[in-house]
Structure 1
Amino acid sequence: MANWSDPRPTASAFGASVPGTRGTAYDAGLRKYMLSVYNYMASGVLLTGIVALLFASGGRDSLAAQVFLAPGILKYIIMFSPLAFVMVLSFGINRLSTGAAQMIFWAFAAIMGLSMSTIFLVYTGSSIATTFFATSVAFLSLSLYGYTTKRNLQAFGTFLIMGVVGLLVASLLNLWVQSSALQMGISAIGVLLFAGLTAYDTQRIKEMYSYVAGTDMMGKAVIMGALSLYLDFINMFQFLLSFMGNRE
């Protein structure tokens, strides 16, 4: 079975054709595969945005305000539910059918929308739109670099993943410390880490095509690739919003 975290390079240089073994058919298949990944990722981001906007519609009188500004455990369930979906996809993908993986991905994107609806209660709509545009431009540029570069980003990716673990520990620590300076530092490092992961994950997803091309694992690879890029985009957006967002 395919190893979804396998960062090994393929026999050729990042999907380039090898005379006698790979040609236009391989290149066309790779383009179709990557386009599917980007389509799923973009659709997931769009679904998250629509759900967040609808849930927060009405400002302080919205459903989001009633849930997140009121006491109770419901807000914590919504906040941590996306993590459960990621765990199911990451550790159970080989046991899931392609259809089930797709449904879980869409459910995850929708729940993320509920969780992220709070940004509309905190930041102005114009600053959210500006940050989203900036994130989109940065994401496209970094993903294009990851797709086209001939440099092996595997060692770079290992460093970035270790950095994300450290970032998570620092974020948990700041829940008790409540330091604004530490939060700004976390946001700055977070932007850099997920910017780098965007390039790394794009290259890794591209390389994965060699392992799943022509197999029944292709659909699952597309979903897992879309999930990785979705998380890179959303995290980069949230950290950037800490700098660029204007509060209500």
Structure 2
Amino acid sequence: MNQPISIAERAQVERSFLTRTFLWMTLGLLVTSVVAYVVASSETLLALIFGNPVLLFGLVIGQIVTVLVLSFAVTRISPILATLLFFLYAALTGLTFSSILLVYTAESVASTFVVTAGMFGILTIIGMSTQVDLTGLGILAFIGLIGVILMSIVNFFVQSTVLYWIISVIGVIIFVVLIARDAQRLKQMATQLDPNSDQGARASIMGALALYLDFINLFLFLLRFLGRRN
């Protein structure tokens, strides 16, 4: 008699954790989108941010510091502070992402966002439903990501068109794998954590951050293929 109740309770805990995680991720994307649109619509803000190299560099450093604090100090800060830092990162990303609307047409940015959202949804379902352990692929994807970063640094100096497109293709593949792997990992975590506890709340924010970063990076790489320049 107790077994069905145990299964039902476990399913409820899983749904609660995953719902909260995806809600935070969606709200983070909304914050980024709104901030990027507001800045891109204001010549004053654009001039302030992109006309001041020191300020722009400070924003980038702020993004890096925020992610590092969340990643390495999340167990020592309150869930509320972790949530605030997540939204701070989303807002800072929106400030720097406003330049995208200057480089690419709004229509191509919107269509790429829709394509990214569709791919993200499909990959999330695959990651959560497959019985195949994606841990190994996730590790390979992470190693590949390091390679992409190194190649991007090299290409910053050599400016090779061929290398640019190689990086773009590999980047899409990497984040396709990471989205599925992170979705699987979150589902595995969901049954082990109480979403109403501090630990569960922190894990939900960190899960949202991982999915947010996966989405943003897949979007950026897809934009290289689908974006139309102004």
Normalised-by-shorter TM-score class: over 0.9
| 1:79 to partner: Cα distance | 2.7
User: Residue 117 of structure 2 aligns to a residue in which SS?
Assistant: helix
Larger helix share, 1 or 2? 2
**Change in CA separation of 1:66 and 1:216 when aligned onto 2, cut-off 3 Å:** closer
Separation of aligned partners in 1, 2:128 and 2:47 = 41
Matched residue, 1:219 = 201
1:52-104: CA deviation from partner (whole Å, max 9, x where unpaired): 0101104xx35224422x35321122233212111100000110111110010
Equivalent of 1:149, from 111, 121, 130? 130
**Change in CA separation of 1:181 and 1:71 when aligned onto 2, cut-off 3 Å:** farther
Matched residue, 2:111 = 130
The alignment's C-alpha RMSD in Å is 1.7
CA contact (8 A) 1:56 1:62 kept: no
Matched residue, 1:241 = 223
Using the size of structure 1 for normalisation, the TM-score is 0.87
Matched residue, 2:39 = 55
**Change in CA separation of 1:66 and 1:181 when aligned onto 2, cut-off 3 Å:** farther
Unaligned runs of 5+ in 1: 1-17
Amino acid at match of 2:61: F
Separation of aligned partners in 1, 2:165 and 2:71 = 30
**Change in CA separation of 1:108 and 1:247 when aligned onto 2, cut-off 3 Å:** same
Runs of at least 4 residues of structure 1 off by over 6 A?
none
Asked if 1:166 is matched to 2:150, the reply is: no
Residues 1-248 of structure 1 mapped to structure 2, 5 A cutoff? 19=3, 22-58=6-42, 61-68=43-50, 70=51, 72-213=53-194, 215-248=197-230
User: Residue 151 of structure 1 aligns to a residue in which SS?
Assistant: coil
Separation of aligned partners in 2, 1:224 and 1:31 = 17
Name the % identity.
37
**Change in CA separation of 1:219 and 1:115 when aligned onto 2, cut-off 3 Å:** same
Separation of aligned partners in 2, 1:178 and 1:204 = 37
| 1:37 to partner: Cα distance | 0.6
**Change in CA separation of 1:130 and 1:211 when aligned onto 2, cut-off 3 Å:** same
CA contact (8 A) 1:56 1:65 kept: no
